[in-house]
């Protein structure tokens, strides 16, 4: 069999790595030559998986990204496939430093500042969309809200051309929890973020009436102001309807429909105008990651984030359980020890949280991630943090906390995609950038979701769902060029261009607040 150059068939990510990632399926018998010698592949290795470049003794570390991603569970010979059958995460001791890798964004020359067409809000935030948000305080009012939302879409929405749609923010909780407990506080923050969001022009709260999560308490505790009332002299909270007080489901549907018509009229008065790119807040997420996520889509997305920050915008990563083992790279970029320590404290909390439920953080990666080439949580995390770019970390937020800082920030969320994106959007992200290697199809109203896939094969199979193909990086296009392509697409989407998920009408069912506590 012919001898190939390693660079033609695989990617050596960093000097000192003892594995490389194969660009395409390698058949048994393939021979590869590189500066360290020549290796022969004894068995088929799937695309996106790892090949050992040198012999790795049992118990010795496996290096990728110049970081330890796990340890050999038996002797591994050069040329062998490295995966779960011979590698496990083990225990990695991380060296935490604070603020040792701070970079200053390259200034934007005068006259080259970027803009987009957005909805200016009276509180200074800017929307990329303009929705009416119907928020249920408890699951008992969920059906009522969905019926109202469906009726509005059928009978009324066409009369309000400046309104992009109806958000039905319903969920499975709102009762059976301790008042003022952590889960209660998280739910309140999340619902408040959906009612008062830069992409929401008007909102309405609908409850049952007897639930733990009372609408009046939500308004008081979260200092919730109705988006449509800001700037009218005396800001007021969103209107409230409860099924019990209104007289039942049918009467509540009628009352909510009439109230919504008035709110739609108010929201429709706002139009798109030219806004600075500094008003864009992008929440990023991975879903269905594979071995190429940390090579193509995620680092390219990080380049787009750096570019947005240059223009004064805000960029977030989340999924704390999928940052585990890579957090030391972020603490080096923390603007203060306090910011960096908060991230470390979150990791210690997650260790206790998972142990309390009889789980381990390395129960992640999921089977699909492993089929795509990811072996350990450390490997997955090191690829995931590439979405963060290279700018200083200015803040670490709790789940669904209102985003108030510019630059690069972190938000504490689980790795589960709908729950993570719910927190990011509730915090104020007016765009979502979502990378996938296996083919996630998530949408999320009211914030458009731009999906970036890791390989050309996935783009060819699921082109109706993928907005950008970062797989062209494997074919020779630079990470920087793809990153700038993503940045331009984010500006276009912020100005109203529909993403693939929006074009298909996705995003109504993904709202999923993080359920932390016991059900009482």
Distance CA 447, CA 423 (A): 12
Write the CB contacts of 281 (distance below 8 Å, at least 6 apart in sequence). 198, 313, 314, 316, 403, 428, 429, 430, 431
Q: Rounding to the nearest 10 degrees, give the CA dihedral for residues 483, 486, 488, 490.
A: -140
Buried b (16+ CB within 10 A) or exposed e, 230-245: eeeeeeebbbbbbbee
Distance CA 389, CA 450 (A): 17
Q: Which pLDDT value is given to residue 364?
A: 67
Q: Which pLDDT value is given to residue 360?
A: 78
SS (H, E, C) 463-505: CCCCCEEHHHHHHCCCHHHHHHHHHHHHHHHHCCCCCHHHHCC
Q: Which pLDDT value is given to residue 362?
A: 66
Query: Any bridge partners for residue 395, and if so which?
Result: 409
Is the entire prediction scored with pTM above 0.85? Answer: yes
Half-sphere exposure of 338 (CA within 13 A, CB side): 3
Distance CA 494, CA 129 (A): 8
Q: Which pLDDT value is given to residue 519?
A: 84
Phi/psi for 481 (5° steps) reads -65, -40
Write the CB contacts of 486 (distance below 8 Å, at least 6 apart in sequence). 300, 301, 303, 304, 433, 450, 452, 468, 470
Structure tokens at 330: 């972020």
Question: For residue 27, what is the DSSP state?
Answer: -
Closest among 45, 44, 55 to 78, alpha carbons compared: 55
Which residue's entry shows tokens 């209660």?
A: 184
Distance of CA 68 to CAs 84, 290, 331, 382, Å?
Answer: 15, 18, 17, 10
Q: Which pLDDT value is given to residue 230?
A: 66
Per-residue pLDDT of the chain (520 residues; tens, 9 = 90+): 679 999 999 999 999 999 999 999 999 999 999 988 899 999 999 999 999 999 999 999 999 999 999 999 999 999 999 999 999 988 878 999 999 999 999 999 999 999 999 999 989 999 999 999 999 999 999 999 999 999 999 999 999 999 999 999 999 999 999 999 999 999 999 999 999 999 999 999 999 999 999 999 999 999 998 776 666 666 788 999 999 999 999 999 999 999 999 999 999 999 999 999 999 999 999 999 999 999 999 999 999 999 999 999 999 999 999 999 999 999 999 999 999 999 999 999 999 999 988 887 766 688 889 999 999 999 999 999 999 999 999 999 999 999 999 999 999 999 999 999 999 999 999 999 999 999 999 999 999 999 999 999 999 999 999 999 999 999 999 999 999 999 999 999 999 999 999 999 999 999 999 998 888 8
């Amino acid at each position: 069999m012919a001898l190939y150059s390693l660079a033609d068939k695989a990617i050596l990510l960093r000097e000192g790595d003892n594995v490389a990632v194969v660009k395409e399926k390698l058949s048994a018998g393939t021979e590869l030559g590189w500066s360290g010698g020549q290796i022969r592949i004894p068995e088929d290795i799937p695309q996106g998986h790892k090949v050992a470049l040198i012999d790795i003794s049992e118990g010795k570390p496996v290096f990728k990204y110049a970081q330890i991603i796990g340890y050999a569970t038996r002797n591994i010979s050069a040329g062998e496939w490295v995966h779960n059958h011979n590698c496990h995460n083990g225990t990695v001791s991380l060296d935490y430093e604070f603020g040792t890798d701070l970079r200053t964004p390259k200034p934007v020359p005068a006259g080259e500042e970027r803009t987009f067409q957005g909805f200016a809000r009276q509180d200074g935030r800017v929307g990329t969309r303009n929705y009416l948000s119907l928020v249920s305080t408890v699951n008992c009012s969920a059906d009522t809200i969905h019926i109202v939302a469906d009726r509005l879409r059928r009978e009324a929405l066409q009369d309000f051309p400046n309104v992009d749609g109806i958000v039905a923010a319903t969920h499975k909780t709102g009762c059976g929890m301790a008042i003022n407990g952590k889960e209660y506080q998280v739910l309140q923050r999340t619902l408040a973020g959906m009612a008062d969001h830069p992409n929401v022009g008007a909102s309405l709260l609908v409850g049952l009436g007897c639930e733990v999560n009372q609408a009046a308490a939500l308004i008081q505790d979260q200092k919730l102001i109705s988006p449509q009332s800001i700037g009218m002299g005396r800001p007021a909270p969103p209107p409230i309807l409860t099924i019990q007080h209104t007289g039942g489901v049918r009467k509540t549907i009628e009352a909510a429909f009439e109230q919504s018509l008035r709110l739609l009229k108010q929201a429709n008065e706002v139009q798109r105008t030219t806004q600075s790119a500094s008003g864009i807040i992008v929440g990023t997420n991975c879903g269905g990651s594979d071995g190429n996520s940390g090579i193509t889509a995620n680092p390219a997305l990080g380049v787009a984030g750096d570019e947005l920050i240059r223009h004064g915008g805000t960029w977030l990563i989340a999924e704390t359980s999928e940052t585990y083992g890579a957090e030391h790279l972020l603490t080096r970029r923390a603007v203060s020890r306090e910011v960096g320590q908060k991230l470390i404290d979150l990791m210690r909390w997650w260790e206790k949280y998972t142990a309390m439920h009889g789980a381990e953080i390395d129960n992640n990666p999921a089977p699909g991630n492993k089929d795509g080439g990811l072996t350990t949580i450390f490997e997955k995390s090191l690829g995931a943090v590439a979405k963060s770019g290279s700018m200083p970390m200015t803040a670490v937020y709790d789940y669904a906390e209102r985003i108030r800082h510019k630059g690069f920030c972190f938000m504490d969320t689980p790795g589960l995609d709908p729950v993570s994106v719910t927190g990011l959007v509730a915090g104020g992200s007016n765009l979502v950038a979502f990378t996938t290697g296996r083919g996630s199809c998530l949408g999320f109203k009211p914030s458009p979701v731009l999906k970036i896939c890791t390989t050309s094969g996935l783009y060819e199979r699921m082109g109706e769902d993928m907005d950008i193909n970062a797989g062209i990086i494997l074919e020779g296009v630079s990470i920087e060029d793809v990153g700038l392509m993503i940045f331009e697409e984010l500006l276009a989407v912020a100005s109203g261009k529909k993403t693939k998920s929006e074009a298909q009408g996705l995003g109504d069912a993904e709202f999923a607040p993080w359920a932390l506590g016991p059900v009482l």
